[in-house]
Amino acid sequence: MKRRHPRRTALTVLAAASLLSSLVSFGTAPAAAAEATGKVAGTGTARTGGTPLNMRQSPSSTARKVGEVANGGKVWIMCQVVAEHVNGTVRATRVWNRLANNTWVSDAYVQRAYYRIPVCSAARPPTAGAWTLPLSAGLVSGYRTINRPTHDGVDLGAARYTPIRAVAAGRVIRVVCNISRGSCDVDGNRALSGCGWYAEIQHAGNVVTRYCHMARRPAVAVGQLVRKGQFIGYVGSSGSSSGPHLHFEVHVNAPPATRANAVNPVWFLRARGIRLG
């Protein structure tokens, strides 16, 4: 039997601890600098040399494959852990990334900017019980479709004055009237630009949700803590809107909620056991 060298084992443990510590020390540059250079924390590009990058159920190359990312495709990184060592096309590393759909990819195949990405608090995704629907309605417009490539959320065709609920516990960080001209207290139209009356809520894990086109000022205030399923406002048609509906967005590695960190709300909630639309 081959004897393990105690000094070498200790050094390996120390190296892993040092690597994990470095995950939170990368990128002390402020967010403004990241915006100025066009680099967004938490996003990256799969670089495999041609084949798809496998998404795994856990941070291991032997874990069950649950999806894949095309070479050159974008990934949204929620957090990172130190796990199995992989020699990849970008780097050799023991770092694994947990993506916004709660799958894992090796950081050895991800080209990204070195800005702050949090260390995962656990290797398991949040439970489905922590999340719910904003309302029950059919999907009338999808996320970044061919016809609407800049549509960073989904539209749910609910009737006017349908109550809107917070999809998870969190803190309200924005309550805004966003319109190119006029008032958010009346119906808008497609000739206008803007989200109308909207609110943003920050949830655990640096996730932000946005609720747009409300009928009147949201029923919550900035700084207010809300629970899952709490009423936050009514469906309306304010801003750039052709009829009553809820425009709903999900952003990871936020705030701020930007176009670069928007993800598809359908599969984000599906990964948490919630079927949207």
128-270 and 6-112 share a CATH fold: no
What mean pLDDT comes out for the span 237-252? 95
- Structure tokens of 18? 């040092």
pLDDT of residue 122: 53
- Kindly state the tokens that stand for 182: 């006029």
Q: Mean pLDDT lowest for which of 10-24, 139-153, 204-218?
A: 10-24
Region 75-83 average pLDDT:
85
* Residue-wise pLDDT tens digits, 171-191: 999 999 999 999 999 999 999
pLDDT classification of 26: cutoffs 50, 70, 90? very low
Mean pLDDT of 123-134: 69
* Structural domain spans, the chain: 6-112, 128-270
Q: What number does CATH give the domain 6-112?
A: 2.30.30.40
pLDDT for res 37: 33
- Mean pLDDT of all residues belonging to the chain: 83
pLDDT at 66: 85
Of all residues in the chain, the percent with pLDDT exceeding 70 is: 81
Tell me the pTM: 0.64
**Pick from 4-18, 47-61, 173-187, 247-261: least confident:** 4-18
- Higher-pLDDT residue of 228 and 17 is 228
pLDDT number for residue 151: 92
Q: What is the pLDDT of residue 213?
A: 97
- Specify the pLDDT at position 114: 65
Q: What is the bridge-based pairing of β-strands 225-226 and 262-263?
A: unpaired
What average pLDDT does the segment 197-221 reach? 96
Local confidence band at 131 (pLDDT 50, 70, 90 cut-offs): very high
* pLDDT top residue among 8 and 227: 227
pLDDT score, position 106: 95
State the CATH architecture for 128-270: Distorted Sandwich (2.70)
Please say if the pLDDT value at position 129 is more than 50.
Answer: yes
d(CA 200, CA 267): 19
Which residue did the predictor score with more confidence, 96 or 25? 96
